[in-house]
Structure 1
Amino acid sequence: MPGLSLRERLRTESGAALLLLGVTVLALVWANSPLSAAYTHLWETPVSIDVGDLRFDMDLHHWVNDGLMVLFFFVVGLEVRQELAIGSLRQRSQRLIPVVAGTLGVVVPALVFLAVAGGDAPHGWGVVVGTDTAFLLGILALVGPAMSSQLRVFLLTLSVVDDFLAVGIIGVVYSEDVRVGPLLVAAACLGVLWLLGRMREWRSAPYVVVVVVLWGATVQAGVHPSIAGMLAGLLVPAAATQRSDVLHAKSLFRAYWQSPDASVARNVQAGLARSISVNHRLHEVLRGPVSLVVVPVFALANAGIDLRGGALGDALGSVITWGVVAGLVVGKVVGISLGTWAALRARLGALPDGVGPGSVVGGAALSGIGFTVSLLVVDLAFDDTAAAQAATVGVLIAMAVASLLGWAIFTVARVRYGETSADLPTTLTPAVDPERDHVKGEPDAAHTVVEYLDFQCPFCARATGMGAELHEHFGDRVRYVVRHLPLDDVHPEAHLAAVAAEAAHRQGRFWEMHDQLFSHQSRLEPDDLREHAAEIGLDLERFDADLADVALHERVADDAASAAASGARGTPTFFLDGVRHRGPHDARTLIAALEARERVEEADPARRRRS
């Protein structure tokens, strides 16, 4: 990751995993050093807070596990809600395979643990059911295929199911001495969160206040607060950003530009906040602190076990240790692989494009990294110090073995089965053909920007002024090309609008129709298309005939096929000099990406000739 600052490196998935690994090693070294007493005393420090007649009296270790970690599970809940609302769990065909695989990835490890260590520690099966999502994705970035975004989506969806089940198990199985009064208060808080979502409350403060009360009530009730964090996150609404909200925020900012007043600035802040769902805003605020502070502090508090005086030998000789290792390593690989295979055989769905069976098994192996959830359950499941130490050693061994096993499987899949990638294609296929494609700009321009668009898509380039801004910056050094990708499942009028643009092209008016359609996105019915054709001066009789021409419908379908072959799955998708662009697609980002390519080509003149 050359050129990145330390902060930026830590915010990557691999950087966060390395940070967590470093903190884990630090905890082990500290706990086995001459300063081990200071480690123990630190986490035994009592901390109490009195709120009226309520008293929260816990040592520092429990404040971390029962307090800070609620933020971790709250973020997990936010992510689950996002996936359910607008992500990979939204469509049945996308969610059934990871749901089945994730469920068996919880059940099989528990059964394996009980088979190995059930006689000695039947209550410890919960240690092996969870997967540490952050560690999983971080290690995937280090040992997985160089390009693995599709596999990442599959594993993230699977871990969402895993986390949901694991937190439910923690909240139900490992809660004792439940008090009814505080539990009713907690239930009321969940009801208030649901009502806030139904009322479309966009401010985050009411949600935060209710979540804090919910946490306090859950602690007082004797239920582990992890389940409160997860349920609270699930009840915070997530939604895709609407173009109308973005335009409203833009108008507010224009007012601030004209009159930079404090009250106007406050309106701008409120307008920006309303344009993004409260779920996404809370997730963005908490994601960094949770991954860079909360989880490392948790690791520091829980991974430090004293292995001196024969404790390590005792742990290695304990059936609990090897029950945890077998459950996490063997159970996860078998459960997830078997669940995926069974779901595929039952035709419940398909694997993401670009993901092969070797990548699935490699990802299943990495799912044996339990760490965060596993260590939390160790603290809840074992009162005996020796048993807790054995289970913790098992979790750490499993983390190392699962990582090495995942690396080995990915290597075999790459070398023996040719699975060099677990991602969508990134190369534009076919290349731009000026005789066929719609090109705006000089044929010998230094850069080519291709956009796959949908005339009903509110964020495609014409709606944001993308092409104009690129041309304003680069001039004749850039040419702009559009191809059709009508998203029929969400934009039912987009396909015929694309055909109308092609019909206009036959009369030499493609770009005029392109602009007309984007200027009237709410009017794309057949009669509307005819009005647009008349407005730009087309021969309507010929336009009507072309609109029904099968060849033009096939032309649009060919563009959609080229999108699939190139890895474009939504709109807008941009290709910069033949390579699919990832990340934000605002004009400033695309300009920066093209300028970065120019700097690379200046340093390596042969690069342009090779490309």
Structure 2
Amino acid sequence: MGLNRSGALLLLLATVAAIVWANLAGGSYEAFWDTHLTVGVGDLQLDFTLHALVNDALMAVFFFTVGLEVRREFAIGELTSWSRAMVPVIAAIAGLVVPALVFLLVATGSGYENAWGVVISTDTAFLVGALAIVGPRAPGRLRVFLLALAVVDDIGALSIIALVYTDNFTPMPLLIAAAGLIGVYFTRYLPTGRGPVYATLAIIVWLAFLASGVHPTLAGVAIALLVPVYRPDRRDVEHALELARTFRQSPNSEYARAAANSLRESISINERLQSAYAPYVAFVILPLFALANAGVVLSPEILGGAVVSSLTWGIVAGLVVGKLVGVLGSTAILKLMRLGDFGPGLTLDRLSGGAALCGIGFTISLFIVDLAISDEDAQNEARVGVLAASVLAFVIATVLFRISDALRPREDSGQTLARPVDPRRDHVFGFPDAPFTIVEYGDFQCGFCLKASGSIQEVHEVLGDRLRYVWRHAPLTHVHPNALAGAEASEAAALQGKFFEFERGLFADQENQRPSDIIRLARDLGMDVDRFEDDLTSAEVTGRVQSDMLDAEAMGITSVPTLFVNGRRHVGPYDAQSLIRALEESAADDTGPSPVARK
């Protein structure tokens, strides 16, 4: 979040600088970004303006990194199930259609009805930056939702550009692009040298998109969706550890290089690329993009014409009203019809703020202005509309997020269990319909969680079948390096009906939870080890742990163990007598006095 916030502030400063430059320095802004660069050998040459270099080349890198993150969420993260992924996909489609309809409703008679494409796209760069600045507390699920929505939105908008606003569309280069993308997919099977092959194919695909007339940033998304992502394999990790031990015993450059390469290869290229590109995207590419695109001239004549222009108001209404109604309306309907899985924290009040942010439409909006409108005065009016809509969307989103946070006072936040216990999903020890419930958010490497589990066992000895105990994951990865691996291993064990046996095994040996220790525990419990190892890297396992972690974030859980007694957050000691007392008080609040401590 620190990187996002710093990058967002730099993005905002670059936007202000572009507007000031364009209005105070005469024509130098346009002249600078129209500077031509020619790259090539012999007759094979590429001619770019600086503006096109930023929008077509550098922004392809940005869309590539966004695609990597969404690919990860769909593969091993929050969006592994269709019930959860369908929510941002449907919202994105509604966010494309409704703004276009609103624009046509307002701009009919202006002569520029064909400019409806200006309002269809959300600017992913500004969306991510704005969310980092004004977003709500615990924005994890909202950020995943908006990123997935933005990528689908971008794919839709760029496809519309190719089909509607591209006069010189040439399909033949897309065959080369398709072949390159197939090559990108199969590169994962090369034993070595994958990096140079990925880079070469990426350049070929980008050039093919450029030659076809399709906006080349779409190449970044397409490539990212084909880059493999996976959890580290145990054998790769163990091999890296062995090489590291060898280097420690006999330090030399050959062993050092082998150990470093092995460690790097144990992490998926998706995650390595995200880490490598994130600083460049945040501190170089996005600020340059804002500087190259946000320089809207705001002379009195242009502003006066925009105020009375139905084209300007059509763009403002399409982006501000259309995006809000399309995204929020579609998600509200899904919630009402109980379609899709939203998850704790992705509530309608927060979705309203996110939907408002979707009205920020710089990149594609300004691009389509140049494609759809030939008259210079009308272009200026349209640009004013895009700028005004983006400012309004930002302000409205800020207000909605502040209201949302105000309705959740900090002292009350997370006091109620966000996700009700579901015996079909949760790990329940005891009778599923027992009248008393303790839910623990914990970490298998946490000594206090071990103590809490002992206390809960004592409570169970007193209450017997009247108590059910539920475990959910909240691994403190910044404190306990093996906590996430332990959580995922327990989920893999759960697929063989051994969750609580595995939990007890992890608690019994908290100091030794490395990959080899986890496999040994599975073997000692009589599990199918081959299946267990396959399940360790499955989307079902990783997505389940990630879901629990986002639930914990939504409730403001920052330490473990965090206990919920009959749905209410427990504050204070968690020894057996304190927990029994809390159950008594909870039962009295709900049904009157109840001697729960009697057996």
TM-score (norm: length of structure 2): 0.73
Given the alignment of the two structures, is residue 523 of structure 1 paired with residue 513 of structure 2, yes or no? no
Aligned: 1:315 with 2:296: no
Given that 2:320 and 2:392 are in contact with CA atoms closer than 8 Å, whether structure 1 keeps it comes out as yes
> What is the alpha-carbon distance in structure 2 between the residues aligned to residue 168 and residue 424 of structure 1?
44
**What is the CA deviation profile of residues 423-480 of structure 1, one whole-angstrom value per residue up to 9, with x for unaligned ones?**
9979x966969876249xxxxxxxxxxxx799xx9x999994999xxxxxxxxxxxxx
2:166 — aligned with what?
A: 175
Matched with 2:501 is 499
The 3 A distance-change label for structure 1 pair 73 and 496 is closer
**Residue correspondence of structure 1 range 189-268 to structure 2 within 5 A:** 189-197=180-188, 199=190, 203-268=194-259
Checking the alignment, whether the CA contact within 8 Å between 1:424 and 1:567 is kept in structure 2 is no
1:227 and 1:141, CA in 2 relative to 1: closer, same or farther beyond 3 A?
closer
Q: Does structure 2 conserve the Cα–Cα contact (< 8 Å) formed by 1:182 and 1:220?
A: yes
Residue 55 of structure 2 is matched in structure 1 by 65
Q: Which amino acid aligns with 1:498?
A: F
Identity of aligned residues (%): 38
Q: Which residue of 1 aligns with 2:65?
A: 75
CA contact (8 A) 2:440 2:561 kept: no
Which amino acid is 2:39 matched to? Answer: I
Contact 1:174/1:224 (CA < 8 Å) preserved in 2? no
Report the Cα distance in structure 1 between the residues aligned to 2:373 and 2:415, rounded to whole angstroms. Answer: 42
Higher alpha-carbon deviation: 358-367 or 182-191: 182-191
Q: Which one of 419, 433, 453 corresponds to residue 437 of structure 1?
A: 453
Q: What residue in structure 2 maps to residue 605 of structure 1?
A: none
Larger deviation: 48-57 or 206-215?
48-57
**Cα distance in 2 for residues equivalent to 1:70 and 1:526:** 50
Q: Distance in 2 between matches of 1:351 and 1:289?
A: 32
- Structure 2 residue matching 1:47: 3-state secondary structure: strand
Question: Does residue 129 of structure 2 align to residue 127 of structure 1?
Answer: no
* TM superposition shift of 1:493: 4.9
Aligned to 1:108: 98
Deviations 1:346-404 (A, max 9, x none): 33223221332211112211221122332333343333322222222112111211122
Q: Give how far 1:60 is off.
A: 1.9
Q: Secondary structure at the match of 2:47?
A: strand
Q: Structure 1 residues 44, 315: closer, same or farther in 2, change over 3 A?
A: same
Q: How many residues align?
A: 501
Secondary structure of 2:225's partner?
helix
Distance (Å, rounded) in 1 between the aligned partners of 2:271 and 2:549: 31
Contact 2:64 2:224 in 1 (8 A): yes
Give the C-alpha shift of residue 139 in structure 1. Answer: 2.6
Distance of 1:134 and 1:575 partners within structure 2: 29
Structure 1 unpaired stretches of 5+? 1-7, 440-451, 468-481, 530-559, 581-611
Within the alignment, does 1:336 sit opposite 2:327 as a pair?
A: yes
1:137 CA drift (Å) = 3.5
CA deviations 1:202-223 (Å, max 9, x no partner) are 7322111111122223223333
Q: Is 1:413 matched with 2:404?
A: yes
Distance in 1, matches of 2:291 and 2:416, equals 38
Q: Using the TM superposition, give the Cα deviation of residue 253 of structure 1 relative to its aligned residue in structure 2, in angstroms.
A: 2.2
Aligned pairs for 1:584-595 (under 5 A) are none
Q: 1:311 to 1:190 in 2, by over 3 A?
A: same
Structure 2 vs 1, CA of residues 50 and 423 (structure 1 numbering), >3 Å: closer, same or farther?
Answer: farther
Q: Out of 374, 384, 387, which is 1:383 matched to?
A: 374
Tell me the CA shift for residue 309 of structure 1: 5.7
CA-atom RMSD in angstroms: 4.2
Instruction: Indicate the residue corresponding to 1:148 in structure 2.
Output: 139
**Deviations, residues 323-356 of structure 1 (Å, cap 9, x unaligned):** 1111111011111111112222333223221332
The answer to whether the aligner puts 1:365 opposite 2:356 as a matched pair is yes
**Residue 57 of structure 1 aligns to a residue in which SS?**
strand
Q: 1:423 to 1:138 in 2, by over 3 A?
A: farther
Contact map agreement 1:353 1:424 (CA 8 A) in 2: no
CA distance in 1, matches of 2:360, 2:559: 37
Q: Is the 8 A contact 1:425 1:566 kept in 2?
A: no
Deviation at 1:88, TM superposition (A): 2.6
Q: 3-state SS of the aligned residue for 2:80?
A: coil
Is 1:37 the counterpart of 2:39 in the alignment?
Answer: no
Q: In 1, Cα distance between the equivalents of 2:330 and 2:406?
A: 25
Task: Give yes or no for contact 2:414–2:557 (8 Å, CA) kept in 1.
Answer: no
Cα distance 1:171–1:282, how it changes in 2: closer, same or farther (>3 A)?
farther
Change in Cα spacing, 1:461 to 1:394, as seen in structure 2 (3 Å) is closer
Quote the residue 1:399 is aligned against. 390
Aligned counterpart, 1:92: 82
Specify whether residues 433 and 71 from structure 1 end up closer, same or farther in structure 2 by C-alpha distance, changes over 3 A only.
Answer: closer
CA distance, structure 2, for counterparts of residue 192 and residue 241 of structure 1: 23
- Cα distance in 2 for partners of 1:434, 1:275 equals 31
Query: Structure 2 regions of 5+ residues with no counterpart?
Result: 419-437, 442-447, 456-470, 530-543, 564-599
Distance across 2 between alignment mates of 1:231 and 1:121: 32
Q: Report how far residue 525 of structure 1 moved.
A: 5.4
Alignment of 1:283-298 (within 5 A): 283-298=274-289
Q: CA deviation at 1:29?
A: 0.9
The answer as to whether partners of 1:14 and 1:142 remain within 8 angstroms in 2 is yes
Quote the residue 2:532 is aligned against. Answer: none
Question: Residue 213 of structure 2 aligns to which amino acid in structure 1?
Answer: G
* Shift in CA distance, 252/465, structure 1 to aligned 2, threshold 3 Å: farther
SS at match of 1:50: strand
Q: Distance in 2 between matches of 1:331 and 1:392?
A: 18
Paired AA for residue 275 in structure 2: E
Structure 2 distance, partners of 1:400, 1:368, is: 9
CA contact (8 A) 1:295 1:372 kept: no
Q: Is the 8 A contact 2:20 2:295 kept in 1?
A: yes
Provide the C-alpha distance between the structure 1 equivalents of 2:414 and 2:124, rounded to a whole number of angstroms.
18
Say yes or no: does 1:160 pair with 2:151. yes
Alpha carbons 1:88, 1:157 under 8 Å: kept: no
2-structure distance, mates of 1:281, 1:512: 29
User: With structure 1 as the length reference, what TM-score do the two structures score?
Assistant: 0.71
Structure 1 match to 2:128: 137
